[in-house]
Structure 1
Amino acid sequence: MKKIIFILLSVLFCLLGFGQGSQPERVVNMDTARNLTVINSSCYLFIDSEHVESPASVLNRKFKPLAEVVNSRYIAPQLVPATYYLKFTLRNDSAVTEKYYLYPGKVYRFFQLFKEEGGRLKALPTTGVTTGFIPFTVEANKTTTYVLQARFFKTPFNDIQATIVAPHLLGSYQSRMYNTLTEKKVVGIILSGMLLMMIIMTLLNYFITKKIEFLYNSLYSLFMFLLIFWTTYLGFHPGWFKGIFLSYIDMFLLIVGTVFYILFTRHFLESYIRYPRIDKLFKYEIMALLALLVVFSIQHFCFDNYALELLAENIIKIAVLTAGIIYIVLALVQRNSLLNYLAIGVAIQVFCYIISLGLTLFHANPTPLITSPFFYFELGVICSVLFFLLGLFHKNRQELITNIKEQEALKMEAEKQQFENKLSIYKAQQEERNRISADMHDDLGAGMTSIRLYSELAKSKIGKESIPEINKISSSADELLNKMNAIIWSMSSHNDSLGNMVGYIRSYATEYLESAGIEHNIIIPERLPAIEVNGTIRRNVFLVIKEALQNIIKHSGATKVSIKMTKEREGLALIIKDDGKGIDFNNIRPYSNGLTNMKKRMADVEIEFSIRNNDGTEIMLYKKTM
C-alpha cells in the first residue's frame, strides 16, 4: 500500500514539474498594451552573483519570473553587487517599426540592452545611463526577446520597475515623475530654504566678526543643505548622479558636516581654553569620524561587498549618535548656559536620528512623511541649527553685556583719573592760595600795620595841629589793611564753608554799621547746612554786601538795617533791607557802576540778584543748593 501511494505521489510531482517547466514565457503585445505599460509581470530574471556569465552564455541559464526572485520592494543588500539579466519579450503586430523607451528603475550604474537573434544576444546602441530611459525599437510584425544587463549602485533603494513608455508620452511621464510635489518634497524644499538663509546669516557674521566658528558653522549648514536639497531633488530623478549621491556622496556630506560642527563647537565654546578635557574628546571624535570615512571610502571603491559596506555605514551613523549623546552628557555635567543651548539642539537631533535609524533598520515604508527616515534626519538638522542661533543670540548678549561692563569700567577709571587730576590741581591751587594769603598776612599785613602805627605816632607828636596828608595816610592804610584782610580771607581754603562766610559777613556788617551809628538786626538760622563755598563765591558775595551797606550809608538816609538769611525750599536767600528813601531806578547816575557790578558778580557765581523798593530798599540774593 505504501509503495502504491509513493508511486502515485511521484507521478503527480513529475506532472506538476513538467507542467511548470513547459509553461511558455509571457509576451507583451505592444498593439494591445497601453502607451505606458509596466511589464514586471512579464519579465524574467537571472542574477549572476559571481560575475562569471557573459551575454553569450547567459541565455543558457534558467531565468525565473521576476516576482519569484524579487519579492520585496527593494533589492536585498547581499544581492546588490550582482550582475542582473532582465529578459522580456515584445510583439509588434503592426506594419511599421515602433520606437519605445525602457525605464528599468531608479539607481542603475550600468546597463546594456541586447536583442536576441538566432539564439544569440546582439548588443544594441544603448544610451540613457544619465537619464535612466533607454531608447529602443521593435521591428514590424515580429516577436523580439530583449535582455537588459545591469548593475546597481550600492544603495538600499534599488528596485526593478520595468516600464515601457511611448515616445509621445515620455515628456509628460518625466515631468510628472520629476515635478510632482509630495509632502516629502515640500518639506525638503522648505527646510533647504531655511538652511540657505542660515548659511547667509552665519557667513555675514563671519565677514563682520572674522570669528572662525561662524565659518565652521556655515560649512556645516552648507553640507547639510547639500545633503537635504539633493536628496529632495533626486527623490524622483533616476540616473547616474542619483546613484553616486545615494551610494557615497550623502555619507561623505554627513561625516564631513559633522566634523565641521564639532570644529564649530570647539571654537564657539572656546573649549581649548575653558574645557580642556572636553576639547580633547572633540579631537578624538574628529579623528574617529575621519578614520571611519577613510574606511568607508576604501570599502566603497575597492570592494564589492555591499552588506559589509552597509554595516560600516550603520556603524558610522551609530558613531555620530554616540558623539551626540556624549556631548549631551558633558553639557549636563558642565552646567553651562551656552553649552545647554547647543546640547538641547543636539539632543533633539539625536532623538530624530534614532528614529531615522530605527525606521531604516526595520525597513519602514519611506513614502509617507511620518515613516520617512530622511524626514526625521532633516528635522534634527534644522533643530540643531535653530538652537545654535539661540545660543549665538545668548552669546552675543553676554558678550555685549561684558563689553558694556568693560567700557563702563574703563570710563569710570578714566573719570576717576580725571577727577584725581582735577583734585590734585585743586589741592595745588588751594595750597598756593594758602601760601599767598599767608605771605600777604605776614609781609604785606605787617607792613601796612607799621604804616598805620607810624602815621598814628606822627599825629600824636604833632599834637593838636592837624596835617591832612598824615590823616589821609592813616585812613588809607586802615582801609587798605581791611581790603587786604578781606582778600586774605577769601583766598584761604580753610574758610571754604557757608558757616565761615556767614560769620565773616556778620562780623563785618556789625562793625561797619555800628561805626556808622545805624541800628541793625542780623538774623541767621541756628543750623546752617554743611555746604562748601569756594573763595570766588565768598569774595563776590562779600563785595556785593559791602557795596550794599556802603550805598545804605551814603545814599539811603536809613536809620535801621536788617540782614536776614532764610532757608528756602530749594536753596538759601539773604535779604538786606533798610528803612531809607528807597532807590529811584529812573534817576541813577549815568556813570555809576555799583549796581551793574553787583549784578555781574552774582551772575558770575550763579546767584540770583534782585533789588526793589519795599518801604526802603530791599536786596535779595538767592542760591539753589539742591
Structure 2
Amino acid sequence: MYFTKSLPLCMSFTKTSVLIRFVCCATIIFLVGINTGFPQATDSNWLDVSKVRFQKLLSKHCEYAEGPKKLMTAGEIISQPFQKRDFKTLHPGIPLHLIEKNFMMRIRAWNSSDTIEEFYFTPGYYARNLVIFKADPSDIAGTIHKIPDSISRSTIYSGCRLLKLAPGEKAVYYVSLNFIRTNANSFSPYFIEKDFLRYWLKNVKHRNPLADIITYIIAGILLLMIFYSLAVYLQSRNKEFIFYSVYALCSTILFFVKSYAISESNEWNYLYEEYLDFMIMGLGVYFYLIFVRRFINTKEDHPSMEKFLRVAQWILVGFLGIFSTIYFFTDQFVILYVLENYIIKVYMFGIGVVFVWYSLKKKDKLLNYLAAGNFALLAFSVVSLLLLLGVKFNKSGELASIFNNGLLYYEVGIVLELMFFLSGLAYKNRRDLTERVQERERFKLENERKEFEKQIAIVTTRQEERDRISADMHDELGSGMTAIRLMSEIVRTRMKDQAFPELEKISNSANDLLGKMNSIIWTMKSSNDTLESLVAYLRSHALEYFESTPIVCRVQVPEHIPPTVMSGEKRRNIFLSVKESLNNILKHAHATEVTIQIILKEKQLIIKVSDNGVGIDTEKLRRFGNGLSNMKRRMESIQGDFMVENDRGSVITFVSPL
C-alpha cells in the first residue's frame, strides 16, 4: 500500500531529473560551440584560409546573386538574395544574360591559426569593376566596408585582390563584378596563397605550352609571308601583295595577341577580347577579298565574280560598322554575340562557299588552288566556331586543351590556305613568266618582221633604182656610145686613103667603154642577182675576150647550178676580179691556153683561172702588182679569199661564200 501511493512521486522525480540532465548537456554543448566557432556544424559554409595550400577553388563555398549592371553600394549588396548555384553552369562559359548584369558573390572565411593570414582572391580573368566588401558575421550591416583597390590590388596581377584575416578572425566577403562582353569569359574564383601567386599566374598563362608553341610558329610563318609579300611588291609593283600582307598582318596580330595576352587583366586586353579581335579578323577578310580580286584579275577574266566580291566587301564593311556602333554606344552583349557568331561569321562563310563553288565550276587551275585553300579554311573555321559556341571533343589530359582549342583549328585552316596560296602563286608566276617570254618572242618576231619588211622595202627600192639606172644607161649612154663607135667607123671607112690614128683610138675607146658599160648594167640589174647569171656572164665574157686572140679559152662549169641569190655587189667584185686576172694573162703570161674552172663546194664558190704561160715572176711582179692587190681587196670586201701560185703557169684562185 505504501509502495503504491509513493509510485507517482517517484515517477515525477525521475522525469524532473532527466529534464535537468538534458538542459545541462545542452548548455555545455552550446558553450563549447561558442568557444570553438561551431566548426563541425559549419564546415560547408565557412572556409578556413589557414588550411589553404597554394590555391583553393571557391565554387562550393560561394553563394551567388545577380542584379542590374551598376556599381553596388554596401547596403545594396548585402540585401541581395544570395543562393547556391551549380558551378558547372558557370565554367568555362558564362551564361549570356549574366554578362549584361552585375554578378555578385558571398564568401564566408575564417582563420583558425594564431598568425595573420594573407591571401589573394581572383574571380578568374576578364572581370571588370571588381569591388570587394568585408563584414563581421556578428554584425554585417554595421561592419561592412569596401576594401580599397589601392591597398588590395596586386602589382603582379591586377585581376587579384589581397585579403587579410587576423588570428581567429571570421569575415564575410561580398564581391561585385562585371564580366566583359565576350564569350571567352571564364569564371573560376580562387583563394591563392600570397607567395604562390607568381606560380599560379605562370600556370594560367602557360597552361598549354604546346598550343602556344604552335601559335607562335604559325605567327612566325605569317610574319615571313608579310616580308615576302612586301618584297614581291617592291620588285613587281603588284598592289595585290600589299593587300595580302595586310591580311597576313591581321592574322599574325590575331594569333600572337590571343596567345601572348591570355588572361591579362587590363583594359587594353578587355578591349581586344571584346572588340578588336573580331574587327581585326573582319578587316583581314576585307583585305583578302581585295587581294583575291586583283590576284585572279576578276575585273577582266571573271566579271561576275568581280561584282559579287565587290558587293560582298561593302556589305562586310556595313556589318562591321553596325557591330562597332552597338559596341561603343550600348551595353548590349547578346545582340553583339548573335551578330558576330550567327550573322557576320556565317556571312563570311557564305562568301567562301560561293567562291569555292564558282572556282570549281570554272575549272581554272589558279582558281582551283585558291578554292582548295578557302575550302580548308572554311572547314576548320566551322570547327573553331562550334568550339567557341560550346561544342567539345571528348578528350582527356593535355589533348583536351589542344583538341578543344578553337583558335588552333582556325590557325590550321590559315596554314592550309597559305600553302595552297603559295602553290597558286608559284603556278601564276610560272604562267606569267611563260606568257612574258611568249610576249617578248612575239614582240621580237614582230620587230624582226617589221625590220625585214623595211629591209625588203629598201632592197626593193634599191633594185628598182638599179633597174632604172641600168635601163637609163642602156638606153641613153649605150645608144650614145654605139653612135660614137659607128660614126668613127664610117669616118675611117670614107678616109681609108688617109691614116688617122686618132680615129682608131676613138673607135677602140668607144668599144672599150661600151663593154664596161654593159658590165655595169649587168651588175646593177636586179634580175641578174643569181649565181647562174654570174656563171653565165663569166663564161660569155671569157670566151668573147679571147675570141680574137691566139689564146684558147676553156670554161668548165658545174652540171647543176642551184638557185642561189647573189647580190649585185658580190657579183660585181667577183666579175671584176676574174676580168682583171684574164687581162693579166693576156698581157703578161705569154700563154696559149687558159682554163677557167667554176666549182661549187660546201656553200662556197671557187673559181680557178690557170694558164700555160710563163707564170708569175717575182722580179716582174711590180708590173702588175696593182692588179693583184685590187683583186685581193675586192675579194676581202665580200668575205672571200684570193690565192696566186705557179703550177706550169700561173693559177689564180678566187673563193667566195654563197
User: In structure 1, how many angstroms separate the alpha carbons of the residues matched to 2:511 and 2:248?
Assistant: 94
Q: How much does 1:94 deviate?
A: 5.7
Q: How much does 1:437 deviate?
A: 2.0
Contact 1:352 1:376 in 2 (8 A): yes
User: In structure 2, how many angstroms separate the alpha carbons of the residues matched to 1:265 and 1:493?
Assistant: 62
Instruction: Work out which of the residue numbers 102, 118, 122 in structure 1 matches 2:145.
Output: 122
Q: How much does 1:351 deviate?
A: 1.3
The one-letter code matched in structure 2 to 1:218 is: S
Q: How much does 1:265 deviate?
A: 2.2
Instruction: Work out which of the residue numbers 237, 242, 256 in structure 1 matches 2:269.
Output: 242
Normalised by the length of structure 2, the TM-score is 0.84
1:529 and 2:562 matched: yes
Contact 1:43 1:66 in 2 (8 A): no
TM-aligned CA distance change 1:442 to 1:238, over 3 Å: same
User: In structure 1, how many angstroms separate the alpha carbons of the residues matched to 2:88 and 2:555?
Assistant: 125
Contact 1:578 1:618 in 2 (8 A): yes
Instruction: Work out which of the residue numbers 519, 542, 547 in structure 2 matches 1:514.
Output: 547
User: In structure 2, how many angstroms separate the alpha carbons of the residues matched to 1:71 and 1:229?
Assistant: 27
Instruction: Work out which of the residue numbers 385, 395, 413 in structure 2 matches 1:357.
Output: 385
Pairing of 1:74-93 with structure 2 (within 5 A)? 74-92=93-111
User: In structure 2, how many angstroms separate the alpha carbons of the residues matched to 1:374 and 1:473?
Assistant: 112
TM-aligned CA distance change 1:70 to 1:444, over 3 Å: closer
The one-letter code matched in structure 1 to 2:132 is: L
Instruction: Work out which of the residue numbers 498, 514, 524 in structure 2 matches 1:481.
Output: 514
Q: How much does 1:175 deviate?
A: 4.0
The one-letter code matched in structure 2 to 1:314 is: N
User: In structure 2, how many angstroms separate the alpha carbons of the residues matched to 1:181 and 1:591?
Assistant: 106
Match of 1:313 in 2: 340
User: In structure 2, how many angstroms separate the alpha carbons of the residues matched to 1:288 and 1:297?
Assistant: 14
TM-aligned CA distance change 1:155 to 1:275, over 3 Å: same
User: In structure 2, how many angstroms separate the alpha carbons of the residues matched to 1:260 and 1:538?
Assistant: 71
Q: How much does 1:125 deviate?
A: 1.2
User: In structure 2, how many angstroms separate the alpha carbons of the residues matched to 1:340 and 1:159?
Assistant: 41
1:159 and 2:186 matched: yes
| SS of 2:270 mapped into structure 1 | helix
Pairing of 1:234-313 with structure 2 (within 5 A)? 234-301=261-328, 306-313=333-340
The one-letter code matched in structure 1 to 2:126 is: V
User: In structure 2, how many angstroms separate the alpha carbons of the residues matched to 1:166 and 1:568?
Assistant: 107
Q: How much does 1:568 deviate?
A: 0.9
Structure index of larger Rg = 2
TM-aligned CA distance change 1:576 to 1:141, over 3 Å: same
Deviates more, 1:240-249 or 1:59-68: 59-68
Q: How much does 1:577 deviate?
A: 1.7
User: In structure 1, how many angstroms separate the alpha carbons of the residues matched to 2:215 and 2:255?
Assistant: 6
What is the aligned length?
A: 605
| SS of 1:592 mapped into structure 2 | helix
User: In structure 1, how many angstroms separate the alpha carbons of the residues matched to 2:329 and 2:505?
Assistant: 126
Match of 2:401 in 1: 368
| SS of 2:591 mapped into structure 1 | coil
User: In structure 1, how many angstroms separate the alpha carbons of the residues matched to 2:385 and 2:44?
Assistant: 41
Match of 1:443 in 2: 476
| SS of 2:559 mapped into structure 1 | coil
Pairing of 1:442-591 with structure 2 (within 5 A)? 442-463=475-496, 466-585=499-618, 588-589=621-622
* RMSD across aligned positions (CA): 3.0
Match of 2:65 in 1: 47
Match of 1:414 in 2: 447
The one-letter code matched in structure 2 to 1:621 is: F
Instruction: Work out which of the residue numbers 23, 38, 41 in structure 1 matches 2:56.
Output: 38
Q: Deviations over 1:145-181 (max 9, x none)?
A: 3222112112223233333334444344434544566
Q: How much does 1:329 deviate?
A: 1.0
Contact 1:42 1:88 in 2 (8 A): no
Match of 2:242 in 1: 215
Match of 2:215 in 1: 188
TM-aligned CA distance change 1:491 to 1:73, over 3 Å: closer
Q: Deviations over 1:42-72 (max 9, x none)?
A: 6312121555975324435554456557474
Q: How much does 1:188 deviate?
A: 0.9
User: In structure 2, how many angstroms separate the alpha carbons of the residues matched to 1:138 and 1:591?
Assistant: 134
| SS of 1:157 mapped into structure 2 | coil
Q: Deviations over 1:109-147 (max 9, x none)?
A: 221121114313311112359732223333345233322
| SS of 1:483 mapped into structure 2 | helix
Contact 1:188 1:228 in 2 (8 A): yes
Match of 2:161 in 1: 134
Contact 1:128 1:134 in 2 (8 A): yes
Contact 2:63 2:107 in 1 (8 A): no
TM-aligned CA distance change 1:306 to 1:473, over 3 Å: closer
The one-letter code matched in structure 2 to 1:202 is: S
Match of 1:106 in 2: 125
The one-letter code matched in structure 1 to 2:308 is: L
The one-letter code matched in structure 1 to 2:367 is: L
Deviates more, 1:436-445 or 1:593-602: 436-445
| SS of 2:625 mapped into structure 1 | coil
Unaligned runs of 5+ in 2: 1-37, 394-398
Contact 1:40 1:66 in 2 (8 A): no
User: In structure 2, how many angstroms separate the alpha carbons of the residues matched to 1:114 and 1:228?
Assistant: 38
Contact 2:66 2:98 in 1 (8 A): no
Contact 1:602 1:608 in 2 (8 A): yes
Q: Deviations over 1:474-522 (max 9, x none)?
A: 2222222211211221122222111111111101101122322222321
User: In structure 1, how many angstroms separate the alpha carbons of the residues matched to 2:551 and 2:624?
Assistant: 28
1:338 and 2:338 matched: no
Deviates more, 1:524-533 or 1:46-55: 46-55
| SS of 2:598 mapped into structure 1 | strand
Contact 1:575 1:620 in 2 (8 A): yes
User: In structure 2, how many angstroms separate the alpha carbons of the residues matched to 1:70 and 1:436?
Assistant: 111
TM-aligned CA distance change 1:373 to 1:483, over 3 Å: same
Match of 1:170 in 2: 197
The one-letter code matched in structure 2 to 1:427 is: T
The one-letter code matched in structure 1 to 2:347 is: A
Contact 2:77 2:174 in 1 (8 A): no
The one-letter code matched in structure 1 to 2:595 is: S
Q: How much does 1:250 deviate?
A: 1.8
Runs of 4+ in 1 over 6 A off after TM superposition: none
User: In structure 1, how many angstroms separate the alpha carbons of the residues matched to 2:62 and 2:192?
Assistant: 19
User: In structure 1, how many angstroms separate the alpha carbons of the residues matched to 2:305 and 2:204?
Assistant: 48
The one-letter code matched in structure 2 to 1:232 is: S
Deviates more, 1:175-184 or 1:108-117: 175-184
